[in-house]
């Protein structure tokens, strides 16, 4: 095995062992700051993967209805048609791996107490916050029993144009020890193949 290949493999192994046991791999992340223009009754770009069904949501933030300053753009989960929408996206998940949907929710900042139902695969939860509640982190975990595409969604209950505010949505996987073992076995195989190639040459 030549020195460069040895160095690359050694670096890869070092990286794996240096990673803490709980290192999470993020497979989806959106803070909504890249979208413009800000608008009531937002239609997300197709490339974002986000969909709004059965009603509307608002994309608000810096310079436009900024009721939660300092967070760039964010979503008012009850839009402006008196019919709060289901705000949804999806991710590709691998069987048996535990994934965590993380998100920040804040109170409506307009007085009313609001509730949002959250779904991720077959897991669900709901969050109720008073009007002045600050942006707070929540998460919901799901372990699929089959690999495939799974949805996650947020739906504000009621429909009076005032909803909870959503920001910083992400999905991450926490690799199990067996996953690291598989990665190491893969590296071992790579080293074996490189050694064989040199012997053959
Ligand atoms: Ca944001
Ligand atoms: Ca609204
Ligand atoms: Ca409401």
Indicate which ligand has the atom closest to the C-alpha of 135.
1
Give exposure, 65-81, as e/b (b: 16+ Cβ within 10 Å): ebebeebbbbbbbbbbe
Instruction: Render pLDDT for 6-59 as a digit per residue (tens, 0 to 9).
Output: 555 555 555 555 555 567 899 999 999 999 999 999 999 999 999 999 999 999
Is 51 found in the same domain as 16? no
Cis amide leading into 37 (omega within 30): yes
CA of 139 to the centre of ligand 1 (A): 17
Question: Could you tell me the two tokens for 164?
Answer: 């909870």
Is 3 found in the same domain as 56? no
Q: Which residue's structure tokens are 């993380």?
A: 102
Instruction: Render pLDDT for 146-196 as a digit per residue (tens, 0 to 9).
Output: 999 999 999 999 999 999 999 999 999 987 666 656 656 666 665 666 666
Give exposure, 179-192, as e/b (b: 16+ Cβ within 10 Å): eeeebeeeeeeebe
Instruction: Render pLDDT for 63-85 as a digit per residue (tens, 0 to 9).
Output: 999 999 999 999 999 999 999 99
Indicate which ligand has the atom closest to the C-alpha of 166.
1
Instruction: Render pLDDT for 2-20 as a digit per residue (tens, 0 to 9).
Output: 555 555 555 555 555 555 5
Is 71 found in the same domain as 18? no
Q: What is the CATH number of the domain that holds 117?
A: 2.60.120.260
CA of 78 to the centre of ligand 3 (A): 7
Instruction: Render pLDDT for 100-122 as a digit per residue (tens, 0 to 9).
Output: 999 999 999 999 999 999 999 99
- 3-class secondary structure per residue, 74-94: EEECCCCCCCECEEEEEEEEC
Is 37 found in the same domain as 11? no
Gyration radius of the chain over CA positions? 22
**HSE (side-chain half, CA atoms, 13 Å) at 69:** 1
Q: Give the residue among 154, 155, 152, 156 at the shortest CA–CA distance from 171.
A: 152
Report how far residue 119's alpha carbon sits from residue 111's, in angstroms, rounded to the nearest whole number.
26
CA of 44 to the centre of ligand 3 (A): 22
Question: Could you tell me the two tokens for 141?
Answer: 């975990």
Q: The pTM is what? A: 0.79
Indicate which ligand has the atom closest to the C-alpha of 61.
1
pLDDT at 175: 74
Is 32 found in the same domain as 14? no
Strands (E), 123-181: 123-129, 136-142, 148-156, 165-173
Q: Give how many domains the chain has, as a whole number.
A: 2
Is 134 found in the same domain as 113? yes
DSSP secondary structure letter of residue 34: T
Indicate which ligand has the atom closest to the C-alpha of 167.
1
Is 51 found in the same domain as 10? no
pLDDT at 76: 98
Is 156 found in the same domain as 113? yes
Is 152 found in the same domain as 55? yes
Report how far residue 49's alpha carbon sits from residue 59's, in angstroms, rounded to the nearest whole number.
15
CA of 159 to the centre of ligand 3 (A): 6
The runs of H, that is alpha helices, within the chain are 3-18, 177-200
Domain that holds residue 60: 24-174
């Amino acid at each position: 095995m030549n020195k460069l290949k040895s160095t690359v493999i050694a670096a890869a192994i070092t990286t794996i062992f240096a990673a803490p046991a709980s290192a999470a791999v993020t497979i989806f992340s959106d803070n909504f700051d890249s979208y413009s223009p800000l608008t009531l009754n937002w239609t997300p770009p197709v490339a974002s993967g986000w969909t709004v069904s059965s009603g509307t949501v608002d994309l608000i933030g810096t310079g436009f209805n900024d009721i939660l300053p300092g967070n760039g753009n964010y979503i008012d989960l009850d839009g402006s048609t008196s019919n709060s929408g289901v705000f949804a996206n999806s991710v590709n998940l691998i069987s048996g791996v535990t994934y965590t949907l993380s998100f920040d929710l804040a109170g409506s900042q307009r007085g009313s107490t609001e509730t949002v139902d959250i779904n991720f695969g077959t897991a669900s939860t709901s969050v109720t916050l008073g009007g002045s509640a600050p942006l707070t982190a929540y998460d919901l975990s799901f372990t699929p029993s089959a690999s495939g595409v799974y949805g996650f969604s947020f739906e504000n209950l009621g429909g009076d144009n005032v909803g909870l505010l959503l920001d910083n949505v992400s999905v991450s996987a926490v690799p199990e020890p067996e996953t690291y073992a598989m990665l190491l076995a893969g590296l071992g195989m790579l080293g074996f193949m490189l050694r064989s190639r040199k012997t053959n040459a």
